[in-house]
Amino acid sequence: MLNVVLVVPNDNEKTWRDFREIAAVAGKQGVRVTLVRHRRKEQLRLLPLWLRSTVSMALTGRTDRKLLPGRFLSGRRISKIEEYQVLEDAGAPVPKWTELKPGTALDPGEWGPYVIEKPSRGMFGANVRPRKTSRVKFEHQSDLPSTHRGSQAPMIVQKFVYTGEWPVSYRVVTAFGDVVLCIRVTTKRGTPLRTRWGFDQGGVAIVSNTKEMEVVLDADPEIMAVASRSHRTAFPDIPILQFDLGRDAETGEICVFECHPFEPTWPFSHGRAMAVQAFYGVSFDNQFGAMEGIGRAVVRKAREIL
């Protein structure tokens, strides 16, 4: 029998229920799953597996200390710059981007009259804003306020993707490339962007993931196909990715905004996810049978390795 060790990311009761369900799904397919927290004392229970063929996985986050001999799959703590480069090299449809450096000068004919400026180490859309392409310039990290995300890591400039009058994005969760959740997020806050370059009206929101967002389950097949393919080609050994994607409202082009190679939260039990589901009356678990899908993906990956 194949042996898999799964690191449970937190002590949340819902998280443990999820991982027990994943383990049960794997067990029905002939894979024995052992669940542990990443604590030395708990890992003493793994000693009987030391000489057996075993693969260990931290489905979310990154675990630097190896549990057992053999492969250990987990997330990767990397900057957006490296993330975009890996995605781009794998052929994923990342919007045109560049790191903002001294001497950076952008051609509006190539980039459009406005671009999006964002930190390479962002959080919840902080310091993401549209800028006139002709006015984009490098600012040294030390010249930015300590509260600005750009004071901690380089800034990025990205070609603007027009998703409609209101910002619309898709969050797709994949398990080794298998889609287990797909939601659409829309924000109706501030002034609608009625035309692609209508930023001169002011008060235009470009981030869909805000307190004013609307969330619906939306199994968009094209969006899911891009996320699935991007996971398999760019980060095949990262267990869980949480993709943010968008579709250009005029061209229909689908773009990958990011995929969170290092995301420590379990997407089906953390506080924000639970609050969103309760408020909008949706179930992330039930859209595709998430735990069953993750269990199948874990088994498939384990069989590829062992």
DSSP per-residue letters across 57-79? E-SSS---S--SSS-EE------
CATH fold for the domain made of 76-94+161-262: D-amino Acid Aminotransferase; Chain A, domain 1 (3.30.470)
Residue 139 has pLDDT above 80, yes or no: no
Distance, in Å, from the CA atom of 238 to the CA atom of 62, rounded to the nearest integer, reads 10
Q: So where are the chain's domains?
A: 2-75+296-305, 76-94+161-262, 96-160
46-87 confidence digits (pLDDT tens): 888 888 889 999 999 877 767 788 899 999 999 899 999 999
pLDDT given for residue 124 in this prediction: 54
Distance, in Å, from the CA atom of 157 to the CA atom of 57, rounded to the nearest integer, reads 34
Residue 149 has pLDDT above 60, yes or no: no
Distance, in Å, from the CA atom of 122 to the CA atom of 94, rounded to the nearest integer, reads 17
190-225 confidence digits (pLDDT tens): 889 999 999 887 657 676 565 678 999 999 999 999
Tokens of 57: 């996985």
5-54 confidence digits (pLDDT tens): 999 999 999 999 999 999 999 999 999 999 998 777 777 788 888 888 89
Distance, in Å, from the CA atom of 98 to the CA atom of 95, rounded to the nearest integer, reads 10
Write out the CATH class of domain 2-75+296-305.
alpha beta
3-class DSSP assignment, residue 33: strand
Tell me the whole-structure pTM to 2 decimals.
0.93
Q: Note whether 2-75+296-305 and 76-94+161-262 share their fold.
A: no
pLDDT given for residue 141 in this prediction: 65
pLDDT given for residue 55 in this prediction: 94
Query: 128: pLDDT confidence band, cut at 50, 70 and 90?
Result: confident
